[in-house]
Amino acid sequence: MAIRVPGIMHAKQSLRQSKLLANQLSSTSVNVPKGYFAVYVGESQKRRFVIPVSFLSQPLFQELLRKAEEEFGFDHPMGGLTIPCREDIFIDLTSRLN
């Protein structure tokens, strides 16, 4: 049973908007808006997300990056930061950030 917190719902909505923005950007351009950066998330098939640079200062996101580096190294063949974790885990984690 999941506990829903209003802040998380707002964060999920923001992430969905970021995914929409990412889809628009990936189809039209490789540019990322100022204050954001692209990450590719997934174990086999990578999905592009455009997320705020402020996430880099968040302890939860730093821990995700640390674990990804320990387990997989940092190989970024797609031109953006690649995080080889399940997409649902990434969405759950980023929904807690703000």
How much is the pLDDT for 51?
92
Instruction: State yes or no: pLDDT of 63 exceeds 50.
Output: yes
How much is the pLDDT for 57?
93
Residues composing the chain: 98
Choice among 13-17, 46-50, 80-84 with the minimum mean pLDDT = 13-17
pTM above the 0.85 mark? no
Bridge partners, residue 37, by sequence: 51
What is the residue-averaged pLDDT of the chain? 75
Q: Determine contact, residues 83/75, Cβ cutoff 8 Å.
A: no
Helices 59-72, 87-95: axis angle to 10 degrees equals 160
Does residue 81 sit in helix, strand or coil? Answer: strand
Does residue 14 sit in helix, strand or coil? Answer: helix
More confident residue, 84 or 1: 84
Q: Determine contact, residues 53/37, Cβ cutoff 8 Å.
A: yes
